[in-house]
Amino acid sequence: MTARGLASYAVCAGNTRGRQHDEPPPSGRDDFQRDRDRVIHSTAFRRLEYKTQVFVNHEGDLFRTRLTHSIEVAQLTRSISRALALNEDLAEAIALAHDLGHTPFGHAGQDALNACMKSHGGFEHNLQSLRTVDLLEEHYAAFDGLNLLYETREGVLKHCSRVNAEQLGELGRRFIEGTQPSLEAQLANLADEIAYNNHDLDDGLRSGLISLEQLDAVDLFADCRREAEAQWPGLRGRKLIHETIRRMVDGMALDLIAQTRINIARVGVVTLEDVRRAPRLVSYSDALWPRLQALKVFLRENLYWHYQVLRMTDKARRIIEDLFSAFMSDPRLLPPQYQAKARIDKPRAIADYIAGMTDRYAMKEHRRLFAVGEIH
């Protein structure tokens, strides 16, 4: 254990690769807490409140948004980090920052913007999250972006094409060489999955697009529901759903903790460099994995591909395509600060502008450009 009570392979002040721009050390907190705080105070983080998870914001006040999703991921990441003696502050910073570059309208918006950018380098929301914290946030006089620690930045970049990795220098090397990020980054990645599998299920039930009867075919859900009903006979409605889903979350988290401990012991990891050279260490057990895959298939076929969701995502796709086409045809339609950027790289400046929009801002901007009478 280190001085902070961390495992020897956790990221700490003694093994961090530091920041791109030197800064005086913070007062009253450490550098990992500083990263977390900078993410929370960023403009991009606030915008997540009005960005789609599954349901567009105006469809209901109780559905998750990218902001509430990120908070749930952070809670899971911090709890599991503590159990594994990892750096909680770093893991939390990664979790809170992982969706900062996401487009409006969820994955439909991302896919549409990627299609628009196909001839201009494409669009990857993980890479956009990195671009956001490295360049697009404007808070500090000394540098662009948030100047986060290397380990926070590598955790934000969960996926990356080889072409883009080759342009990222040290940060992109692991995608070329097949090495791993820190355990904190690996953990934040799977905590993201635990969060969205369960809260999308909850939102789907709340919306009425999926039913408890349908979920009897999903073993993981059905087993947890039977446990809840056995402990609380006669339980119905939202309480039954909550008791079932919280058992699912607990089960996934505990399985992840137990299997990760087994993996670390089996490989004989001692240092952070051991983590980087080892196979992926944060994982579920072989017993849980197929049950999770069955849940994912259910959500895809019954919720994400539900005709009512697809109708909204089709509208979202057309909004993104229309905006991109209009700005490409005449970049003078862009706000002044983006016009200046467009003179250097028009497609990327437009992608930055659109990716930064909230759902409701994108819809408002679309009306301004295309609706008769909307001229302001």
- Assign 3-state DSSP to the chain and report helix, strand, coil percentages, each to 5: 65, 0, 35
Residue 340 lies in a domain: yes
The pLDDT value given to residue 209 = 92
pLDDT of residue 24: 93
Residue 148 near residue 140, CB atoms below 8 Å: no
Specify burial of residue 3 (Cβ count, 10 A radius: 0-12, 13-18, 19+).
exposed
Are 105 and 130 members of one domain?
Answer: yes
- Write the CATH number for 133: 1.10.3210.10
Predicted confidence at residue 107, as pLDDT, reads 86
Same domain, 196 and 60: yes
Residues 222 and 364 in one domain: no
SS3 label, residue 30: coil
CA–CA gap between residue 329 and residue 195 (Å, rounded): 40
| Domain boundary pick from 252, 277, 306 | 306
Measure the CA–CA gap between 86 and 341, rounded to whole angstroms.
40
Question: Looking at 252, 276, 306, which one is the last position of a domain?
Answer: 306
The candidate with the shortest Cα–Cα distance to 188, out of 276, 282, 77, 70, is 77
Domain assignment present for residue 67? The answer is yes
Q: Is 119:90 a contact under the CB 8 Å cutoff?
A: no
**pTM of structure:** 0.94
Which amino acid would we find at residue 238?
A: R
Give how many domains the chain has, as a whole number.
2
CA distances from 303 to 48, 69, 350 (A): 22, 17, 31
| Together in a domain, 266 and 156 | yes
* CA 72 – CA 80 distance, rounded (Å): 12
Give the position of tokens 């505990």.
Answer: 254
Residue 159, pLDDT score: 85
pLDDT in tens, the chain (376 residues): 555 799 999 999 999 999 999 999 999 999 999 999 999 999 999 999 988 777 655 555 567 889 999 999 999 999 999 999 999 999 999 999 999 999 999 888 999 999 999 999 999 999 999 999 999 999 999 999 999 999 999 999 988 888 889 999 999 999 999 999 999 999 999 999 999 999 999 989 988 999 999 999 999 999 999 999 999 999 999 999 999 999 999 999 999 999 999 999 999 999 999 999 999 999 999 999 999 999 999 999 999 899 988 888 899 899 999 999 999 999 999 999 999 999 999 999 999 999 999 999 999 999 999 987 655 5
On whether both 299 and 319 belong to a single domain, the answer is: no
Distances in whole angstroms, Cα of residue 268 to Cα of each of 12, 180, 190, 271, 277: 19, 16, 22, 9, 12
Residue 7 lies in a domain: no
Alpha-carbon gap, residue 36 to 206, rounded angstroms: 32
Residues 60 and 190 reside in one and the same domain? yes
In this structure, are 135 and 249 located in the same domain? yes
Q: Are 194 and 249 in contact (CB under 8 A)?
A: yes
CA distance 223 to 96: 31
End-to-end Cα separation, the chain, in angstroms: 60
346 in the same domain as 207: no
CA 6, 11, 15, 20 dihedral sign is: negative
Within its chain, how far is the Cα of 193 from the centroid?
9
What distance in Å separates the CA atoms of residue 347 and residue 340, rounded to the nearest whole number? 12
Q: Are residues 90 and 139 in the same domain?
A: yes
**Are 218 and 349 contained in the same domain?**
no
Alpha-carbon distance values, 16 to 11, 153, 172, 212, 369 (Å):
6, 12, 17, 47, 47
Clarify whether residues 65 and 78 are in a common domain.
yes
The answer to whether residue 6 is domain-embedded is no
Q: Is residue 18 part of a domain?
A: no
- Is 22 a domain residue? no
pLDDT score, position 33: 97
Q: CA 66 to CA 52: how far, in whole Å?
A: 6
Report the amino acid identity of residue 325. S
- Of 98, 118, 90, the closest CA to residue 44 belongs to 98
Instruction: Identify the domain containing residue 337 by its residue range.
Output: 311-370
Within 13 Å of residue 32, how many CA atoms lie on the same side as its CB? 22
- Of 282, 306, 330, the last residue of a domain is 306
246 and 218 belong to one structural domain: yes
Is 14 inside any structural domain? no
For 171-194, how does the pLDDT look when each residue is reduced to its tens digit (9 = 90+)? 999 999 999 999 999 999 999 999
Q: Which residue's entry shows tokens 């437009």?
A: 350
Q: Please check whether residue 24 lies inside any domain of the structure.
A: no
Given this model, what pLDDT does residue 375 score? 55
Q: What is the pLDDT of residue 56?
A: 55
d(CA 303, CA 41): 33
Give residue 2's pLDDT.
57
